[in-house]
Structure formats: C-alpha cells, structure tokens
Amino acid sequence: MELMIALAIFVVSVGLLIASAKFFTGAAETLGYRFGLSSFVVGVVIVSVGTSLPELISSVLSVRAGSSEIVPGNIIGSSLSNILFVLGLTVVLSRSRIDLGAQYIYIDLNYLAGAALIVVVTMFDGTVHASEAVIGLLAYCAYVFYLLKAGNTNAASDALPHPPETKSSLGWAIGILLASGVVIFFSANQTIDSLSKIAESLGVSKAIVSMTLLSVGTTLPECVVSVSAARAGKAGLAVGNVLGSCIFNGLMIPGVASLFGALTVPSELIHFSLPFYAAVTLFFYLLTQDKKISPFEGALLLLIYALFMGKVANLL
C-alpha cells in the first residue's frame, strides 16, 4: 500500500512539476520579449533552460535533502532517454528520415560528445565536487555564447521562435512567474520524497529509480516538443531540442547541484550505466556522420533503450 501511495504521489508531483515549468517558461518568455530581448536570445536562454527546469530543480533539492546520488542517475538517465527514446520515437513517428544541417553535425554534436566526456571524467571516481563541476559550467557558457553569436547568421535563424502576439500585462506575467516558481519548488520536493520512498519499498538504490522513473518523467516535455516538431516538418528543431537538453543536463545540472554539496556516484552507475552512457554518445556521434537519421535507425535506438532499461531493472 505504501508503494502504491508513493507511486501516486510521484506521478502527480512530476505532472505538476512539468506543468508549472511550462507556465514558468511561458511567463519568462513573455517578460523577455517585453524587455526587448531578441527572439533567438529568448529561445536559447529562456526556453531551453525552462524545459530543463524539472531536472535542475529536482537535482538541487535532492542534494539539499542528502540524497545526492539521485543527481548522477537523473543526468545519465535523462541523457539516455533523450538520445535513445525521445529521438528514436521522433524519427519513427515522423515516418521519413531526418536530415541534419551542418550546425548540428559540427557544433551541437561536438558539444554533446564534450559534455559526455566531462560527465564521465568527473563521475568516474565516485564523487563530483564543485571544483570539478565548474568546468562544465564554463563549457556551457561557451556553448551559449556560440549560439548567441550564431543567432546573427542565416543558418541559425531558421529555428528562431517568433515573438507571440500577447496582451498579457507585465504584472500578470510576473505573477505567473512567481506562482509557477513556488509550485516548481514544492512539486520537485514531493518528487524527491516520493522517489526515496519508492526506492526504499523496492529495495533498490535511489540512483537506479531516478535513472528510470524520474528521467523518463522529466523528459516527457522534450518528447512532446520533438515529436510535434518532426511531424510538422521541423526535424532540425526536434534534433536541436534533444541535443540541447543533453548538453544542458551534462554540463549545467552537475555544476549547479554541486554548489550545494558534493555529488555521490554509486558503484552500480560507475560499473555499467556510466560506460553505457559514454558508448551511446559515441554511437550516436558516429550514426549521424552521414547527416541523416532514418526510421530504421530510430527503431534501433528504441531497441537499445529497451535493452538498457531491462538490464537496469533486472528484467533481462
């Protein structure tokens, strides 16, 4: 009975976390346009960070609650879920191959590989300190600086969002921002508490539960955005959303979370999940060198994800 209650609380709290993050991002986007920020700056800085708020806030709160092992599991699980599940499902449902532009091949893919390398190196000894994670923060700042600079080129302008026609007042947007921020905090707190109870009831580590349940739940926004973009003929936006989320998860989340305490990486992650994450990143890097992803390759990504989840959950 306790397990069922914890699962119900987890599902509700993750749903509130995702919904409140959406409202927070929308209000922040409105404020960005109101203060004269360009469409590209709003898209890169506000929207990209807003869609990753569930992972970021839940990671910070888990460290403050003394459950820092949740953070590495969430980082690895979210990245694998994005690359294998979200992108695989996106390609399969689009029913046609996705052609990749030069920006994704020569910039985003390189940063994805670099982010994975930083994650592996910092986590391999079992502990991530702030002095190590700051390297990831600096790398992410360099990535954002490049994107902002590239926003002036024609190649990057294809994915720019258009300023919405809104009649919302400045006070209303600020109110939504503050209210959604409060909901994000409390729903993330409940997510971590319920996740800890689920792990205790199942007799498994919190890192494993966060790498499965939490990572799948928090990547649902990216899944919806990517699938919708691909089916609308905006495949580049779908791929960019996935790569941007993986880069943010690998560089920003451990950097910010480690400011509140050292991150503990359990041995079960170091021995299997961390090498698997590195191998999947390398595999994806090589897979996309021909600048396209076919539905058959998307199906392969989904099968690899099913294999990973089965091994982690001891179902295979």
Domain parsing of the chain, residue ranges: 2-312
DSSP string, 287-314: HGGGSEE-HHHHHHHHHHHHHHHHHHTT
User: What's the pLDDT at 300?
Assistant: 95
Q: Band of the pLDDT at 301, cuts 50, 70, 90?
A: very high
CATH class of 2-312: mainly alpha
User: What's the pLDDT at 176?
Assistant: 82
User: What's the pLDDT at 204?
Assistant: 79
121 in Cβ contact with 129 (< 8 Å)? no
User: What's the pLDDT at 156?
Assistant: 43
Which residue has better confidence, 229 or 120? 120
User: What's the pLDDT at 275?
Assistant: 95
Q: Comparing 147-151, 182-186, 200-204, which segment has the lowest mean pLDDT?
A: 147-151
Q: Band of the pLDDT at 30, cuts 50, 70, 90?
A: confident
Q: Band of the pLDDT at 37, cuts 50, 70, 90?
A: low
Q: At what angle do helices 220-231 and 2-34 cross, to 10 degrees?
A: 60
pLDDT one-digit tens code per residue, 128-173: 998 888 999 999 999 888 877 765 554 444 444 455 555 556 778 7
223 in Cβ contact with 54 (< 8 Å)? no
Question: Which residue(s) pair with 127 in the sheet?
Answer: 264
34 in Cβ contact with 177 (< 8 Å)? no
Residue 122 φ/ψ, nearest 5 degrees? -75, -30
Average pLDDT, the chain: 81
Most confidently modeled of 57-66, 116-125, 180-189, 192-201? 116-125
User: What's the pLDDT at 104?
Assistant: 65
* C-alpha distance from residue 81 to each of 37, 137, 162 (Å): 32, 22, 29
pLDDT one-digit tens code per residue, 254-288: 999 998 989 999 988 999 999 999 999 999 999 98
User: What's the pLDDT at 127?
Assistant: 92
User: What's the pLDDT at 188?
Assistant: 73
User: What's the pLDDT at 157?
Assistant: 44
pLDDT one-digit tens code per residue, 58-104: 888 889 888 888 899 989 998 999 899 988 988 888 767 777 776 66
